[in-house]
Structure 1
């Protein structure tokens, strides 16, 4: 029997061969299966499309699954910069980006995202769409840097804000749920943001930057 996710995916999510092959390709290369779910991919597409995003920054790219969803929502002149820690992930992502015909619009910075964000801040770069899906203990830092790099009205989207339900267990003091609890509380009250969390996937945070 179908559940809500199956129903939504069947009706609204159209994964083509490029996207489907990323999932099988991760297995073949023994890379982690931590891409966003198909329904989250579609929401990313919708958010980027509705917001009129033109310059996107992704923190955590893996095999390019979310990158391609976002990229397909941007205009032909749009650009995505993806920050990824490991070269092997970027090598695979580039194969997929090329298969999607988007190699001219997507670029990568390889290395520690903290250092890459510091570099982008120093260079005065600006973006109007952000997707945070990387190491959870650094989410608060990524949020602050995203706000600094944001154009007014930019969207900051963050994945895994429920941590598989672990954030609801106050006795779970492991680094990831502790960091995500703090992140959620921050976006709820930060005066620079208008925020909420959608109950899609593992909890998808959406923040609109009011001022920078």
Structure 2
């Protein structure tokens, strides 16, 4: 990495930290989810506070009342949705992560707003479709290899103007580039772009790395149901 790029990423990291301190108001109940997740050995891959606040703002802007979350981890993102007035149905495959998430959600006082379903996303999603569940906002934080399948199932439980947000879409695309794959044909963006059910965009981001090792380059795909 050139010295110019290093300065850019350092500045982006510093700005991200300042923005978090200035814009995300402290909430002892919600904030306790971070150290509790760490104490219980959960991986340090949860969303950042600024990211959580962005999701909450999106939910409030569109007046979302029901949220489907694919990938609970410690429930930190669930808390932001709950604080935005949403009822959250979250899917988590790992029993320990589910249990820690339930602790964090109860501690924050949102146990009545957040349901955590234990199971693999691609097993649970068809059941939710059969139940006739409908969601205003879908947050997909799933395994990279399952992103489009989760997206496809999610669309079966949305209505026009519902929003689907897929996190961590840039890093798998970078790996595809390194592996010599054609992003115009094989990437998530290519698959979503061919799907007439939605209109979508992709945003690249530089933010605080949850592992504390420096800035993180990634991004998200945001789609609205037509």
TM-score (norm 2): 0.81
Q: 1:197 aligns to what?
A: 202
5 Å matches for 1:93-172? Answer: 93-163=101-171, 167=174, 170-172=177-179
Q: 1:39 aligns to what?
A: 50
The whole-number CA distance in structure 2 between the counterparts of 1:168 and 1:89 is 27
CA deviations on 1:68-110 (whole Å, 9 max, x unpaired) are: 0111112xxx411000001211111111111211111111110
**Which residue of 34, 37, 41 maps to 1:23?**
34
Cα distance, 1:26 vs structure 2: 2.1
In structure 1, the residue corresponding to 2:152 is in which secondary structure?
helix
Q: 1:64 aligns to what?
A: 75
Residues 166 and 221, structure 2, Cα contact 8 Å, conserved in 1: yes
Cα distance, 1:203 vs structure 2: 0.5
Cα distance, 1:169 vs structure 2: 5.9
Taking only aligned residues, the RMSD between alpha carbons, in angstroms, comes to 2.1
The whole-number CA distance in structure 2 between the counterparts of 1:89 and 1:168 is 27
TM-score (norm 1): 0.86
Residues 166 and 172, structure 1, Cα contact 8 Å, conserved in 2: no
- Larger CA Rg, structure 1 vs 2: 2
The whole-number CA distance in structure 2 between the counterparts of 1:35 and 1:24 is 12
Q: 1:6 aligns to what?
A: 17
The whole-number CA distance in structure 2 between the counterparts of 1:84 and 1:173 is 32
The whole-number CA distance in structure 2 between the counterparts of 1:124 and 1:188 is 26
Regions of 4+ moved over 6 Å: none
Change (3 A) 1:15 1:139: farther
Unpaired runs of 5+ residues, structure 1, are none
Q: 2:65 aligns to what?
A: 54
Residues 36 and 104, structure 2, Cα contact 8 Å, conserved in 1: no
Paired residues, what number? 201
CA deviations on 1:151-181 (whole Å, 9 max, x unpaired) are: 2210001111111x8627612379xxx8xx6
5 Å matches for 1:83-94? Answer: 83-94=91-102
The whole-number CA distance in structure 2 between the counterparts of 1:42 and 1:104 is 21
The whole-number CA distance in structure 2 between the counterparts of 1:94 and 1:85 is 14
Unpaired runs of 5+ residues, structure 2, are 1-10, 208-217
Change (3 A) 1:9 1:111: same
The whole-number CA distance in structure 2 between the counterparts of 1:130 and 1:169 is 25
Residues 80 and 105, structure 1, Cα contact 8 Å, conserved in 2: yes
The whole-number CA distance in structure 1 between the counterparts of 2:219 and 2:176 is 15
